[in-house]
Homo-oligomer: A and B are copies of this chain.
């Protein structure tokens, strides 16, 4: 089993993604998490480019990293300076990392137009830069920027840049598809020609971008051709369309191609790491991400479900537990008894396989789905519904009435106000009548309901609504349509989805809100008992 090095650039190239902005604290937390995943190299930033990156290199030294080696990133020295006089280049050493990566120009148009120097001088710059660093740090990785585009333009020159970096002592020559336009068959042809010139044993790496939606395939091709290092980011974030996605590359290398990577012992952490990084980056985690997404092992149709339950490989390319993900059986209009039994078991509810109750639940779900409900993502509403049909309803409060008022005058903003009347506990308890404003009618209703409940259940403060979605259902024309509201809520250690349906968006929202607050109170009660 050949060993492949994993090199993560989430904190550098990943941070160049639109809408991503890591604080120093974010970077530290991600670094510690990637250490748990046994990533080999972690590119922390470009110390010469901004003070935040420099601060990261300073602070990370206070942590004991078990596996990962932190890497400072920068470019070859300035064409009108030397390694000694170029301050930005010098800052690479001030980061005090054992490993440094620098990129250099492989493409003649970039040498002429960006560096504004001669082709020969660029070769000297590469050689000088690598050699100087080799005198100060233990390992130098050379990123050949735009290597594939440069090769297509002038193969001789692109190859010469690699020879110079190698001659000066670079331990790895990482071939970069900076613009992301290269296709897998071109990767094969070009890397083969590189090996013809530099030899079978040339220490190559691959750094791919996803502009052609081939970054993962390109990385795997390079490994098959002998590359020893793969650079990428968690979930593939990065400039434009992103970088090669390590969360797909790692399981492909380990589980399908039989390579050895350090992360293979902790592969079951992959899904957790993937979600953690996006949580820190404040990005929604795309449901259909391969291997780690919420939908990656989700089965909808009844035929698929019964096949998967008998023999998972009939509709799964691998066991989700290997990457820390879970199989999800979606309860939908296509589902039957087997879906419900599976789901109940997952929720820790004991149901007798043969009981009439299972049929009753299936019938009720079908009826509600015909009305427009969907329980695929609203598992909390489903669980509350099952308890209700079992004759053990969870009910901690009763909403007696709500009134919502919204108005707008010509050029002013609109104004929304809600009042609610809530009884706790239901049927017999005390009545709270309160009111709240909001930036829209749904928000006003939510604020009023929360305000009323907090008086009785202060733990409501521990939860928040993370996402709110509205789907207009087909059937009725225009604005008289039914809507389905989906709410995702979270507390410290748990997320849950709830659903509501009505022609009135406030009524639909109210159902989903009541389920959401009820579920929080139910979780607390279960924890205490």
Shortest beta-carbon distance from A407 to chain B in Å: 4
Which A residues from 306 to 336 make CB contacts under 8 A with B? 307, 310-311, 313-318, 330
User: What is the 8 Å Cβ interface bit string for chain A, positions 257-278, against chain B (1 contact, 0 not)?
Assistant: 1000000000000000000000
A378 to B46, CA, bound (A): 27
Binds B, one of A64-72, A161-169, A279-287, A452-460: A279-287
Contact residues in B for A178 (Cβ distance below 8 Å): 315
A241-B290, A414-B507, A466-B478 given; A256·B113 CB < 8 A: no
A178 to B214, CA, bound (A): 19
Chain B CB within 8 A of A17 CB: yes
A392 to B245, CA, bound (A): 46
Binds B, one of A3-11, A89-97, A133-141, A181-189: A181-189
Determine the main DSSP class of A at the interface with B: mixed
A9 to B527, CA, bound (A): 46
Contact residues in B for A315 (Cβ distance below 8 Å): 178-179
A480 to B307, CA, bound (A): 43
A238 closest partner in B (C-beta)? B288
Shortest beta-carbon distance from A43 to chain B in Å: 16
Q: How many chain copies does the complex carry?
A: 2
- Check A406–B441 contact: CB distance below 8 A: yes
- Check A443–B480 contact: CB distance below 8 A: yes
Determine which of B252, B406, B409, B438 lies in contact with A400 in the assembled complex, contact meaning CB atoms within 8 Å.
B409
Contact residues in B for A284 (Cβ distance below 8 Å): 474
Shortest beta-carbon distance from A274 to chain B in Å: 13
User: What is the 8 Å Cβ interface bit string for chain A, positions 358-373, against chain B (1 contact, 0 not)?
Assistant: 0000000000000000
A414 to B501, CA, bound (A): 12
Contact residues in B for A82 (Cβ distance below 8 Å): none
Determine which of B310, B442, B477 lies in contact with A479 in the assembled complex, contact meaning CB atoms within 8 Å.
B442
Contact residues in B for A213 (Cβ distance below 8 Å): 216-217, 245, 248, 252, 290
Binds B, one of A120-128, A296-304, A342-350: A296-304
A472 to B25, CA, bound (A): 13
- Check A300–B16 contact: CB distance below 8 A: yes
**Most B CB atoms within 10 A — which of A21, A406, A438, A481?**
A406
Shortest beta-carbon distance from A9 to chain B in Å: 15
Query: What are 12 of the A-B contact pairs (CB < 8 Å)?
Result: A18-B295, A109-B314, A184-B220, A185-B224, A212-B290, A213-B217, A214-B217, A439-B504, A441-B506, A442-B505, A467-B478, A470-B470
Beyond A213-B248, A239-B298, 4 extra complex contacts between A and B, CB < 8 Å: A21-B374, A26-B474, A402-B408, A441-B505
